[in-house]
Amino acid sequence: MKLDVDFDKKRKFPVGESGQVKFRFRDIAVEPGSSVSLKKDFDPNFTGGYDDKSGALEQVASNVQRLSEMQQILYAQDTYAILIIFQAMDAAGKDGAIRHVMSGINPQGCHVTSFKSPSAEDLDHDYLWRASKALPGRGMIGIFNRSYYEEVLAVRVHPEFLAKQKLPPETRKGSIWQGRFKEINNFEKYLWHNGTIVLKFFLNISKDEQKKRFLSRIDEPDKNWKFSTADYEERKYWDDYQKAFEDMLENTSTEWAPWFVIPADNKWFARLAISVVVSSALERLDLSMPVVDDKQKQRLEEIRDQLLAEQD
């Protein structure tokens, strides 16, 4: 089952009862094989030309309800798994998006994994090892807050991280990043062949908006805990990260696991876009509640009669 992203530049999706918020999948999806310029192709402030925040939030709530219903069927059917990946610069809203869009999901059927600096044990294995351990099982939804894509992002921007991985010298010959892009694509195709649907979101925040959010975290005491000096230090590498993101998007958006570049300057629109993509993906699956055979139905009827015959 491929996601079957519609790249028709004319088709728009109306949102909410008012229908005032509209956008195309093509506005947020990276077409496989295409070149990417974040500055030219994807506006962090994009909202489809509309500012119907209430209409968008109305649709998010509707999508969350639909997700809750479909997640129950996904869990019961036990055939597919959903892996949702979030990548972004700091303060882009990954945590908030996860919290709002997945708020209706049964916790028993969903697991969130946050990938921080690798441990000594992680570094003693291949770079996909710790992600492989956290993959969702059939019937489950797994969310990666950052992921193995850090291996072509943070590790690329900071060569000292790569040095810690103790790779054999021969693996560093040629372009290690092109090699990793290929390995990641093959890994995701393997997951797809085995029933795991991979949805990848890059939350595209502008440098100005990140600055505003950083200042808010400093100026508002209740948000001080959110601010990390490490986040500020990473801001100094903004241009390097943008280039790394562009290369990642160009080389790892595939038919079986496309990237969606989510405009993140307006949180309401980001949550809308993510909820539309996730709910659309689940709707494309052949989901149905398991049906018991005649023998099992007969047994259930027998048990029902026995329960009704019990004396209180």
Kindly give the pairing relationship between strand 21-23 and strand 13-15.
antiparallel
Provide the pLDDT for residue 3. 55
- Decide: 257 and 277 in contact? Cβ < 8 Å: no
Q: Is 226 exposed, middle or buried (0-12, 13-18, 19+ CB in 10 A)?
A: middle
The full DSSP string for 100-132 is HHTTTS-GGGEEEEE--S--HHHHTS-TTHHHH
First to last CA, the chain: 51
18-27, 50-59, 233-242, 282-291: range with lowest mean pLDDT: 18-27
**Tens digit of each residue's pLDDT (9 = 90 or more) over 192-206:** 999 999 999 999 999
Q: Is 151 exposed, middle or buried (0-12, 13-18, 19+ CB in 10 A)?
A: buried
Provide the pLDDT for residue 198. 96
**Band (94; pLDDT cuts 50, 70, 90):** very high
Amino acid at 142: G
Of the candidates 154, 158, 151, the one whose C-alpha atom is nearest the C-alpha of residue 187 is 151
Q: If you ran DSSP here, which 8-state letter would residue 135 be given? A: P
**Tens digit of each residue's pLDDT (9 = 90 or more) over 167-221:** 998 887 778 999 999 999 999 999 999 999 999 999 999 999 999 999 999 999 8
**Tens digit of each residue's pLDDT (9 = 90 or more) over 271-309:** 989 998 999 889 888 899 988 888 999 999 999 999 999
**Band (50; pLDDT cuts 50, 70, 90):** low
- Decide: 71 and 141 in contact? Cβ < 8 Å: yes
- Decide: 204 and 38 in contact? Cβ < 8 Å: yes
138-152, 182-196, 217-231, 246-260: range with lowest mean pLDDT: 217-231
Task: Give percent of the chain with pLDDT exceeding 90.
Answer: 70
Provide the pLDDT for residue 4. 54
What is the residue whose two structure tokens read 């948000």? 223
Burial 28-64 (b: 16+ CB within 10 A, else e): bbbebeeebebeeebebebbbebebbebbbbbbeebb
Alpha carbon distances (Å) from 204 to 26, 41, 91, 201, 280: 15, 11, 10, 9, 21
Q: How far apart are CA 81 and CA 17, in angstroms?
A: 31
Mean pLDDT (the chain, rounded): 89
pTM of the entire structure? 0.90
55-64, 142-151, 152-161, 298-307: range with lowest mean pLDDT: 55-64
| Residue 162 C-alpha from the chain's centroid | 25
Compute the chain's Rg from CA coordinates: 22
Alpha carbon distances (Å) from 31 to 94, 181, 274: 23, 16, 17
Q: How far apart are CA 168 and CA 172, in angstroms?
A: 7
Provide the pLDDT for residue 139. 96
Q: How far apart are CA 240 and CA 26, in angstroms?
A: 26
Alpha carbon distances (Å) from 304 to 28, 170, 295, 300, 307: 52, 67, 14, 6, 5
